[in-house]
Structure 1
């Protein structure tokens, strides 16, 4: 009998345990994944959530009963599954994770061979097969091999910098009781940094709140610690640490938008004349920095599958989203939550300028609203209204992702969320905070009406 699995989302699997995702469903997803990819070997791991080990055991049972061998890398972050999929002879990888969701949630993120994202069509076929349970019969039972990739992964991360160029920085690190603390511990003996560790131990109960630094209330403890310890830098991660968030030496949170420009400049300084990918929500600063540093900037639709596809098409050196996802060609075009801070630490070591100074000019040249979310009943109707109001006088209209409208001194992007009944609005201006505030109020009023 066909079941209706609510845990399948636009890009991955996510749901409450056990209502939307449980061991039986994980088992069926394992079998379906093996069938869809015709997989002979798959890398599997799980984040720090309490339900991770049991769901992973069930997932592995499904994979092996469909004749697929499994390499089990244990507790990990999503980026470590990406690393396994690009360095081991496997046909794909699965990380059992719900990223920054509350503790009662879990999920799965999938990749193919060489850490390529699976397509929406593939995900739909996996869903349908897991629902119908019409699996091809097989008499072969796959094997399970446990592998520790930590030493190889450590070497890979350190390959992005020259340790000889580093100076003794003081860095506040907040893992949010997620998995990032293990990577800091892994790298610590190879770096001349003093780490002030907050919420460092992995704890799936999340005693200090959900590991989501996009929530302003979750930034306070990191900001305070930077000031208290007179640190050079603060870093916080989400649960599966595929995103990293930065604080300057004054404890001030740095919008992910400005980090995209900073990391693009750092990458182009080492490897000139390369392609850089950005998302359309906020873009003027990135375009200006890439052009100034001799690179070529290309826009991509928001979302990891789209960014990775565009990066592969353009053979891009680096791609960045304002949501704190940073993608690297050297990392199979995947996003990573540790490479960015290592690159930044090298920049700070070689510069007489603090982090606030590195982004101050960008922030003044292109002030932005940050992402504003609105709950709406009919997203398309709102988009149509905004298009009708603003397009007649606009210099440029772009529909790469939602609606982007550009004028001489300001621009905005508004797009519907892929996973929630929300409209997401971003506004930026050319060095005009008064105009920014005016247009933010103006657009807010229209959307809420």
Structure 2
């Protein structure tokens, strides 16, 4: 298994591609990248986290950095604390939605956002250079900072109508997959006057379901929402940057609809640009068109969306994997921000989650992945470009085809791309109904296999 290196950071299977040598290399190179200054680190709950954390701290300190360790926290909390503490950078030890045997390093610059493509290439180059370390009287230090959760929560409370939410006294089921979001999210919900039903919030790092908050992994949460008579259920991934929603009837509304719901809410209050990636549902385009606001699409990867948002001063952004990016709080995906906005929608409109979800534009999305040794032959994508030349296409990230005149697929789209986080090729298809989505997906899956 090779090490995965991309704008999403560095990921590997611990003991195979992610080794002590890699841990030392990442820490030493990042120390040089940050000019041997202050670095904030945090991690999720994976069993390998503590050992990796110690190795990373050692490399940073021996290189001369001052390390501020904020403990087990969501990825967005580390981003916020880099800004709050005016650090030179930050590292999150988390493989996000990957299975428990994986771990990873997410790299954050001094602005509190992930490194750009150019910045991370510079970092990778530093990893290949020889490292120098300080003598005994020049090494750095480690301090442990508590209160990061309070800083994060206060920023969220400052942008939502917390009092309106408190008056509703929502009953909320929360599935944090025993990850980093468990404690802080319960604290946020309690601050908002919610009665919390914890589901998988033990923070032991043993994932009791698939790490991704997709519908097929949420059966226990769905049952708990119904049996506990909850108003809504929220599901996170292990580092709590993604959010999925279950309605009061126990029905997952689809992680791709998280950003659609939030975008409609935010943009209806104040118009502005919305930025999403190529794999995000067309529901956002429909909402933006109705509200008369522009939409921009980017390559997949949080930093790609963030750069476009920053460039144009976007009002809201996100990705179709349940990622909500609110510049009012910080420029990074944040499930807690998403939860705050969703509860605000329910409180202000007096509507159930099922009614809110039913009001969204209707599409069906199918996501799949195939493992291909050596990847997909580039000639296949070139052939597809020619074959579908009359359709709307983007090749900034693999190939996305939006069918504007196809006899069977009109109104749908497909996105074909190599993953940033796994050694797979992804196929994402969306249609006006399940039959069309299935037809698009199977057609292109057959072409690639």
TM-score, with length taken from structure 1: 0.89
Give the corresponding residue for 1:140.
138
Alpha-carbon contact 1:261-1:290 (below 8 Å) kept: no
- Mapping 1:424-439, distance limit 5 Å: 424-429=426-431, 431=432, 433-439=434-440
Give the corresponding residue for 1:89.
86
Instruction: Give the Cα–Cα distance (whole angstroms) in 1 for the partners of residues 266 and 232 of structure 2.
Output: 20
Instruction: Give the Cα–Cα distance (whole angstroms) in 2 for the partners of residues 95 and 237 of structure 1.
Output: 17
The Cα offsets for residues 261-303 of structure 1, whole Å up to 9 and x where unpaired, read as 2111111233x22111011224532122123224321111111
Does 2:54 align with 1:52?
Answer: no
- Mapping 1:225-244, distance limit 5 Å: 225-244=224-243
In the TM superposition, residue 223 of structure 1 has moved relative to its aligned partner by: 1.3
Give the corresponding residue for 2:417.
416
Give the corresponding residue for 2:387.
389
Structure 2 residues without counterparts, runs of 5 or longer: none
Give the corresponding residue for 1:220.
219
Give the corresponding residue for 2:152.
153
Give the corresponding residue for 2:191.
190
Instruction: Give the Cα–Cα distance (whole angstroms) in 1 for the partners of residues 107 and 220 of structure 2.
Output: 33
Instruction: Give the Cα–Cα distance (whole angstroms) in 2 for the partners of residues 242 and 141 of structure 1.
Output: 33
Instruction: Give the Cα–Cα distance (whole angstroms) in 1 for the partners of residues 423 and 55 of structure 2.
Output: 32
Instruction: Specify the SS of the correspondent of 2:366.
Output: coil
Q: 1:285 to 1:334 in 2, by over 3 A?
A: same
Alpha-carbon contact 2:417-2:427 (below 8 Å) kept: no
Comparing 348-357 and 332-341, the one that deviates more: 348-357
Q: 1:398 to 1:105 in 2, by over 3 A?
A: closer
In the TM superposition, residue 92 of structure 1 has moved relative to its aligned partner by: 0.4
Instruction: Give the Cα–Cα distance (whole angstroms) in 2 for the partners of residues 286 and 74 of structure 1.
Output: 36
In the TM superposition, residue 137 of structure 1 has moved relative to its aligned partner by: 5.7
Instruction: Give the Cα–Cα distance (whole angstroms) in 2 for the partners of residues 239 and 304 of structure 1.
Output: 17
Alpha-carbon contact 1:243-1:336 (below 8 Å) kept: yes
Give the corresponding residue for 2:200.
199
- Mapping 1:161-310, distance limit 5 Å: 161-166=160-165, 167-206=168-207, 208-214=208-214, 216-270=215-269, 272-310=270-308
Q: 1:427 to 1:218 in 2, by over 3 A?
A: closer
Q: 1:174 to 1:81 in 2, by over 3 A?
A: same
Instruction: Give the Cα–Cα distance (whole angstroms) in 2 for the partners of residues 424 and 8 of structure 1.
Output: 17
Comparing 102-111 and 128-137, the one that deviates more: 128-137
Q: 1:375 to 1:106 in 2, by over 3 A?
A: closer
Instruction: Give the Cα–Cα distance (whole angstroms) in 1 for the partners of residues 171 and 92 of structure 2.
Output: 32
RMSD: 2.4
Instruction: Give the Cα–Cα distance (whole angstroms) in 1 for the partners of residues 275 and 190 of structure 2.
Output: 33
- Mapping 1:315-394, distance limit 5 Å: 315-364=313-362, 367-376=363-372, 377-391=375-389, 393-394=390-391
The Cα offsets for residues 350-395 of structure 1, whole Å up to 9 and x where unpaired, read as 223322222224343xx2232232344524233233223222x42x
In the TM superposition, residue 173 of structure 1 has moved relative to its aligned partner by: 0.6
In the TM superposition, residue 83 of structure 1 has moved relative to its aligned partner by: 1.0
In the TM superposition, residue 7 of structure 1 has moved relative to its aligned partner by: 5.6
Q: 1:411 to 1:144 in 2, by over 3 A?
A: same
- Mapping 1:32-51, distance limit 5 Å: 32-51=29-48
Aligned residues: 437
Instruction: Give the Cα–Cα distance (whole angstroms) in 1 for the partners of residues 280 and 55 of structure 2.
Output: 41
Instruction: Give the Cα–Cα distance (whole angstroms) in 2 for the partners of residues 433 and 100 of structure 1.
Output: 26
Alpha-carbon contact 1:256-1:321 (below 8 Å) kept: no
Instruction: Specify the SS of the correspondent of 1:85.
Output: helix
Instruction: Give the Cα–Cα distance (whole angstroms) in 1 for the partners of residues 350 and 415 of structure 2.
Output: 38
Instruction: Give the Cα–Cα distance (whole angstroms) in 2 for the partners of residues 18 and 447 of structure 1.
Output: 32
In the TM superposition, residue 250 of structure 1 has moved relative to its aligned partner by: 1.7
Instruction: Give the Cα–Cα distance (whole angstroms) in 1 for the partners of residues 337 and 294 of structure 2.
Output: 22
TM-score, with length taken from structure 2: 0.89
Q: 1:244 to 1:435 in 2, by over 3 A?
A: closer
Alpha-carbon contact 1:21-1:106 (below 8 Å) kept: yes
In the TM superposition, residue 322 of structure 1 has moved relative to its aligned partner by: 0.8
Alpha-carbon contact 2:281-2:320 (below 8 Å) kept: no
Instruction: Give the Cα–Cα distance (whole angstroms) in 2 for the partners of residues 101 and 421 of structure 1.
Output: 11
Instruction: Specify the SS of the correspondent of 1:108.
Output: strand
Give the corresponding residue for 2:106.
109
Q: 1:301 to 1:59 in 2, by over 3 A?
A: same
Structure 1 residues without counterparts, runs of 5 or longer: none
